[in-house]
Structure 1
Amino acid sequence: MYAVDTGIEETNATIGASQAFSVSEINAMVADLLVSGLPGFLWVEGEVSNLSTAGSGHRYLSLKDKHSAVSCALFRGAARRISSDVLQGLKNGDKIIVKASISVYKPRGSYQLIISDIEPAGFGTLAKAFAALKNKLDQAGLTAREKKRPIPGWPGEIVVITSATGAAIRDVLTTLKRRAPFIPVRLYTTLVQGQDASQQIVQALRQANQDAQAEVILLVRGGGSLEDLMAFNDEAVAYAIADSQLPVVTGIGHQTDFTIADFVSDYRAPTPTAAAEIVSPDKMSLVNTLGRHRSRLFVAMRNVGNQRQAHLLAYRRRLSIQHPNRQLQQHSQRLDEVASRLSWLLRGQLGQKRQQLSQYQRRLFVQSPQKKARQAREQLGLLFRQLLKRTQTRRSKERERLDLFDGRLTRWFEQLTFRRQQLKGLEARLLLLSPLGVLERGYALAFDDSGQLIDSVKQVTVNSNITLRLSDGTLTAVVTRLGR
């Protein structure tokens, strides 16, 4: 129930004929009371009856339940924004839910519902889910006004997230080009309805936040039914908007369409075109503003020029009173006085320094360092001779030790040479006695399969394998004949 304030004070029970209202006035008063006392839009559920389509394209029907019925009108403009599947399948007896506003048809004095959207009866579940998610986000503080970020008045780059096809992208790009062609626009195309639409929208929001040049995001799409807009009622999309580091402006559907994304975003525009206008400065407005600033600048420059000219005149008057030549004469006279005083001070100090120099010369003559220098030279010569003598003695001893070591080394080298010659003789004798020496003279050693040395033909048979050891290796042979 809604409380309605009529604004009409009670009057006496008896009203004269001259104070009577006309029928049109009564209908107008009732219309004002209904429109002002009820919400702008209501969701109404009922059964379709008396469905008809006029030649103008408007549709008329009644919604009824077990106890009441109400007349409804669906005008042609609103019908274009409703899903064609819903309109084509609409028939008498269908259970539907309509989004409508209250209106009074004054010619008949009856009220009716002006329909702006139609959903199947199952839409009630979607509406409940919408309300539950909205309440959850309200409690989490994501829809609070203090959470809204300011929209930059002159963004460095605008990111647009929408479908690659449709009227929304054309309207947005046309508006941005008309108002602010100097601002770059980066486009992230996604699905805007269907099963994968919400996931693509979340991914596009995250990618846009990684763009270092972007300063604001436009999330837009054209109008549609509540089912068409479900991607923008998704909880993941809501949290992606809330987590965005960049301000998000939504322009989803038409002025009568509200989604969860609209409540969480930093600014909700009624249409995609309005969203584009929110984030872009108007080129003509900027031109006008620039013209006003230029006029103000010219005025300010003229004022500054007048002030500077006045200051210059004042400086000229002061200069004529205090001429530089006069100041130069005074400073020149002052310079002469200072030079005279400086000369007198220098002469006094120079005399004092001369007296001090004479005193130092007399003291130096009394205490001459020449004698001390001569004694020091004599002592240095004595020390040098002693050092030379000790060095020669040490050198003779070291030479004797070196000669001794040289003799020992010569004897050791002679002994080493003798030992080498003995070793070579023993090596020659060993080679003569070694079997290897015999092998080098062309002989060979024969071994059977077990590795035993063969020294008689009795140890082998025909076709047996033997191994022959030569001086530079071995070879395997087969016995084909035995002889004595």
Structure 2
Amino acid sequence: MTKKGISLLELQESIAAKLKADEFKDVWVRCEITECNDKGRHIYLDLTESSDGNIIAKQKASIWQSNKSFITEKFQKGTGTKLQKGLQVLLCVSVDYKPAFGLNLVVKDIDPSFTEGQLQVKIKEIKNALVKMGMFGLNKDKPLPQYFERIAVLTPAGSAGEGDFKQGADLLESHGLCEFEYFAATMQGLQAESSMSQQLKKINLQHKETPYDALIIIRGGGAVADLSWLNNFTSAKYICNSYMPVITGLGHERDICVLDEISKINAGTPSKCIEYITKNNLDQIYKAQKKIDSIKALKHQAILTNTHATHTRKQRISQEYGNAVARATLSKLQARSNAQSVLKQQIKYHLSQTENAKRVARVRFWELTQYAHTRITERRATIENTFNSHRTRHIDSLSKVKMHMDNFMITFPAKLLRSYLKASQAVARAFHIKIHNARNNYAERTVYTKDTFSNALARIAGQTLSFHTKLPNTAVLKISQISEQLVATKREIYLFNPMKILSKGYVIARSTDGKPITTAKEAQNKNSILLDFQDSTIPVTPNGDASNEQRPKYLS
């Protein structure tokens, strides 16, 4: 029977022979790394090419051990990051085809500048898309609050940037000067875009219920190429449409990403973000205090001015009254030189004029006094209302700070005492458990005990010095008492040191398996016991009955 066609091996060998041509050697290929396995001697890659989000080509590739160090070091030096999935790369490859394993690409070289260029192209595309949609400058137009009271913070959980930020943020929170709410998101790798977008959406929804004054986005720095994960369109769109101003501190002061350019403020690092918030709030508190002082000064000046005006009016009225009396007296003297009859008439006339002048003067004086009193009362009420409104608002803020400090002062001594009691109980339990091994590890136990209590004393002393100016006298006295108790406990442990007891002439009896023997009855049941002296151990064999005939009187 004649065989039809050719065998599979013959077909594959024919393909392999054609692929050995020079045109399939050292070919530069543009592609994306979708898988990167670097767990053994070689690196195995999955390379793809996509169009409109769909994979149109896929191929496996290998970096053999002989070429691994050259390629990885070259790429990391050129881009600042290592080979990983999700990167656009330009590779120099040769086609390798084996009948048993199929087609494979062997990577011989890599161009790091291509990957960096692709990152810049991606940034430009995102910025152009945001400009075209009219969203690029939306967040920069958001007004900043005069005082930050409540802030949302987006950061990778447990990152170094979060730690740097919390050093200052926790201090502000403890004094009631600002409140922070943290949201964890992945900012590196393929999950970065979806993780950040979900959290940004959540923050904007919560803002509608309880508004935030600002959103801070921070991370702990890293390689420049790691910024590529932050250059994603979805996260950028959420930030542009955010209901609150955004402040970024992504750990790169010279190399910025899209999020830095579209946010309201680019602080550079997490530490500078919290420094900005702290400085702003402290400046506002200082300005408020200056306004209160200014209002007090204005009130005092207004009272002095009104008092002086009232005194001047009183003097003027008194002077007018004196002039009127003088004129009336002069008129009477002039009339006296005339005829007696005319004199009497003039006296009556001027007397009536004098009474009218007095009555008019009294009425005028009373009206001026009432008018001055009314004006002073109205002005004083206005000043007091303004002062009280400002004073109430700022006293409420300062009361929150005092309340937090009082709570801290109340709970701190109790926490310190509980820490001391736990330390004392732990040392006591360790002492009783390890007493039968005292001779063998005396030196180690001594060093451990000294170091433990020295560190505890040093730590408590440091805390005492740090908070001495803030704690009330009762708290300082309590810390001193606890320090004295720690010293006394250390002295007690030293006095009960097993080697110190043995030096007094006592011995420790134990069985051959190391368990302590405390009664004569137990010793009689043993074939051999060990007696530990200060300098050595002697094995003995008990004989005779246990009796108290030879027992010293001082032990009775």
Give the structure with higher Rg (CA): 1
Higher helix share: 2
* TM > 0.5: no
TM-score range, shorter chain: 0.3 to 0.5
Please report the TM-score for the alignment, with normalisation by the length of structure 1. 0.41
